[in-house]
Amino acid sequence: MDAWQFQSPLLCLQQRAFLLTEVRHYFKQRNVMEVQTPIISSAANSDQQIEVFTTEAIHPDKDRAYLRTSPEFFHKRLLASGSGDIFEIATVFRRDEITPLHNPEFTLLEWYRLDFDFSQLMAEVDALFQMLAEKFKLTVNDTQFISYQDLFLQKAGIDPFNTSAIGLHKFCVNQGYHGSTLSRNAALDFIFAVVIQPQLTDVDGLMIYHFPIEQAALAQANPANPHSCLRFEFLFRGIELANGYQELQDGSLQRHRFEQDLAWRSNHQKPVLPLDEHLLSALDSGLPACSGVAMGVERLHMCLIAADDIKNVMGFYALNS
């Protein structure tokens, strides 16, 4: 096949169109409004694990702009403006390695539900996935729900909340890690990726909730356990499909978390990015109580047709674009 050609079967185009039609129908039935938000922003995502693409400035007082890694910040500005429940099928960009599960340009289905706690949103994610699996004639078992702590105890034999950072690092060394001393977060990520995730490939759906507070990002702390937060992830056969939060409404605390991210980035010789002051102002003005989630559309498509490489559902991807 010549490099200029669409590299996947043309059936994938029809499947994707069908998938997006069903998603839109699902949200229309629930009175969730579709929106479209900007791809380029003068602010950026400060997340420690996400690298952004830069481009020419769009604001006269700035020296550059950034391609969005998620529509989340614009969505929260809409929610604080009174939009009500919203969703977007959003093109996003993350500067990372090209792998069977990642292309630098991809699509996120992101949505926000007012007055939903994160348990209600987990149930909605599950309902959407089960509906799509049925439409694609994919037989799946019922989704399993498990806390982050119980998952680590069951699959790794270690308590992520009651083990010191040094203890976690030593555990990683025993699992084959070689390198400098890992932080608590880095050790937990290593254990999850190397020890736990390979054990999940035969689990049709797994909803993991109550992540460590250090990984809260834009989620609320868990009022029942200050060491955890109201965040969840949905995995299908070991592949992460969705990441959701009961959203933090405190602008001051969110600013503090962003500043911690920037300090970490500076200490690790990563670009220090401008904070989104518009988002923080929106939080200060009053974000309504809500929960939100982002789901990778290409990964979802992969799972629904049992593909093993994101190129199999994209056709045009980084290496032939």
Within 10 angstroms of residue 113's Cβ, the number of other Cβ atoms is 21
Decide if 223 is inside a domain: no
Please determine, for residue 321, whether its predicted confidence score (pLDDT) is greater than 90. Answer: no
* Rounded Cα distance, 282 and 280, in Å: 5
* Rounded Cα distance, 51 and 53, in Å: 7
Decide if 274 is inside a domain: yes
- Residue 272 is predicted with a pLDDT of 85
Within 10 angstroms of residue 49's Cβ, the number of other Cβ atoms is 12
- HEC per residue, 228-269: EECEEEEEECCEEEEEEEEECCCHHHHHHHHHHHHHHHHHCC
Please determine, for residue 3, whether its predicted confidence score (pLDDT) is greater than 90. Answer: no
Residues 201-220, mean pLDDT to the nearest whole number: 96
Which CATH number is 309's domain given? 3.30.930.10
Backbone angles phi, psi at 13, to 5 degrees: -65, -45
Whole-number percent of the chain with pLDDT over 90: 88
Q: Beta partners for 307?
A: none
Q: What's the half-sphere exposure (Cβ side, CA atoms, 13 Å) at 87?
A: 23
Decide if 180 is inside a domain: no
Please determine, for residue 21, whether its predicted confidence score (pLDDT) is greater than 90. Answer: yes
Residues 130-142, mean pLDDT to the nearest whole number: 97
Decide if 133 is inside a domain: yes
How many domains does the chain contain in total? 1
Confidence (pTM): 0.95
* Rounded Cα distance, 119 and 101, in Å: 27
Q: What's the half-sphere exposure (Cβ side, CA atoms, 13 Å) at 21?
A: 8
Whole-number percent of the chain with pLDDT over 70: 100
pLDDT digits over 66-107, tens only? 999 999 999 999 999 999 999 999 999 999 889 999 999 999
Residues 288-306, mean pLDDT to the nearest whole number: 98
Decide if 191 is inside a domain: no
Please determine, for residue 139, whether its predicted confidence score (pLDDT) is greater than 90. Answer: yes
- Residue 7 is predicted with a pLDDT of 84
Sequence-separated (6 or more) residues with CB below 8 Å from residue 75:
35, 37, 86, 88, 110, 112, 292
Within 10 angstroms of residue 133's Cβ, the number of other Cβ atoms is 17
Decide if 259 is inside a domain: yes
Question: Distance of CA 46 to CAs 108, 225, 252, 266, Å?
Answer: 18, 26, 16, 11
Please determine, for residue 315, whether its predicted confidence score (pLDDT) is greater than 90. Answer: no
Please determine, for residue 16, whether its predicted confidence score (pLDDT) is greater than 90. Answer: yes
Q: Give, in degrees to the nearest 5, the angle at Cα 270 between 265 and 275.
A: 60
Decide if 32 is inside a domain: yes
Residues 181-201, mean pLDDT to the nearest whole number: 96
Decide if 187 is inside a domain: no
For residue 303, the enclosing domain spans 11-137+252-320
